[in-house]
Amino acid sequence: MAYWITTFGSTSLSMVSPVQDTGPGAAELGLVTLPGGGVHDPHGADGAPVRLPYRLVIEADVVGADMAAMRTALYGLRALQGQRDQLYRTPDDGALDSEWCWARLENLRIRRRAENLLNQPVTLEFAVLSHPWSGADQTIDTVLDVTPKSIVCANDGNARVTDIVVSVTARTSAITELEVVADTPTGWMQWAWSGTLAVGSKLEVDCGAQTVRVDGVDDYGAWERNALHNVSEWLRFDPGNTTVTAERTGGGADTEIEIAYCDGWA
C-alpha cells in the first residue's frame, strides 16, 4: 500500500513536491558462520524482525506567503532536530495520520535558493525507532465469567504486533493466579502470574515493555513463563485472528480483563 509521511509530533510536514523513502528497512538476520563454512540462521523459519533504527528521508519544498511566514516555518523545523516523537503516515486510501511509529529527527538540511526566497527545499532524515507501524487501536474488554475463557483478538494489519497489554481487575473476590495461553502456527505462548490480587486491584502485564505491575507497583517476581513457551515475545499477534485463553484461580464471574494493542503495518 502506498502512503505519504505527513506529520511529526504536532507538526504537519510539507507536501509540496515531496520525495520520500517509504521502505520498511532491512531484516535483522544475525547470521552466524559455523566451522566448516556453514551458516546458522537464529530465526529459523520464523520471520526476522526489522533492524532498528532504520532511516527514512523526506524531501519537500517549504513555501510561505512572505518572509515572516518562511521564518516561522523554517525555525519551527529547526526546533525539531534531535527530538523524539510519533511519526505519522497516511495511506493513499486511508485516514489522515492513521499509522505511526516512534522516530527521532536526526538531521535537517535546508537549501536556500536566491531566485525564490519564498520556496526553499528541505531534507529531513528520521531514525525510525519502532516497528511495525501502529494502526488502529484495538481494545477488547470482557469478563472472565468462565474459566478458562477464550478471547479472539484480531490484528487487521499485515505485520506481527508484540506491544500488547493484558490487564485484569479482580471483582467480588481475590484472584490468586492468572494464566494466559496463546497457541499459534508460529509459536506457543504460556505464562502465569501468582499472588493475591485483592478485590478492586488491577494487574497489568505489558508484553512489549515486559513489565508486570499491580496497582502501578512492580510485581515482576510473581510472573513466570511456562516451560512450553517457545518464542522470545511474551505475547504476539500475527495478521488475522489469535485466540487467547485466560484462566483465573479465584475471583468472581465479573472479573474484568482488557487486552489492548494496535494493528501492525509494515
Residues 190, 81: one domain?
no
Residues 164, 237: one domain?
yes
For 153, list phi and psi in degrees, rounded to 5. Answer: -115, 120
| Residue 163 pLDDT | 97
Domain CATH number, residue 176: 2.60.120.860
Domain CATH number, residue 97: 2.40.30
C-alpha torsion angle, residues 167, 168, 169, 175 (rounded to 10): -150
Residues 250, 141: one domain?
yes
Residues 162, 126: one domain?
no
CA distances in angstroms from 215 to 140, 175, 207, 236, listed in the order given: 20, 14, 17, 24
| Residue 237 pLDDT | 98
| Residue 37 pLDDT | 75
Last residue of a domain, one of 76, 105, 131: 131
**pLDDT tens digits, the chain, 266 residues: what are they?**
589 999 999 999 999 999 999 888 888 887 778 887 788 777 776 778 899 999 999 999 999 999 999 999 999 999 999 999 999 999 999 999 999 999 999 999 998 888 889 999 999 999 999 999 999 999 999 999 999 999 999 999 999 999 999 999 999 999 999 999 999 998 999 999 999 999 999 999 999 999 999 999 999 999 999 999 999 999 999 999 999 999 999 999 999 999 999 999 99
What is the CB-side half-sphere exposure of residue 236 using CA atoms within 13 A? 22
Residues 250, 139: one domain?
yes
Question: What is the domain range of residue 212?
Answer: 134-265
Last residue of a domain, one of 131, 148, 175: 131
Q: With CA atoms as reference, report the closest residue to 161 among 94, 80, 233.
A: 233
With beta carbons less than 8 A apart as the criterion, state whether 67 and 118 touch.
yes
Q: Across-strand partners of 183?
A: 188
Q: With CA atoms as reference, report the closest residue to 63 among 128, 7, 112, 117.
A: 117
Residues 52, 138: one domain?
no
| Residue 48 pLDDT | 82
| Residue 8 pLDDT | 98
Residues 36, 118: one domain?
yes
Last residue of a domain, one of 131, 149, 177: 131
Q: Across-strand partners of 50?
A: 27
Residues 111, 168: one domain?
no
Bond prior to 132 in cis (omega within 30° of 0): yes
Residues 69, 185: one domain?
no
Rounded to whole angstroms, the Cα distance separating 230 from 69 reads 56
Residues 140, 257: one domain?
yes
Residues 127, 147: one domain?
no
Alpha helices in the chain (DSSP H): 67-78
Give the count of domains, the chain. Answer: 2
Residues 121, 168: one domain?
no
Rounded to whole angstroms, the Cα distance separating 142 from 168 reads 10
| Residue 1 pLDDT | 57
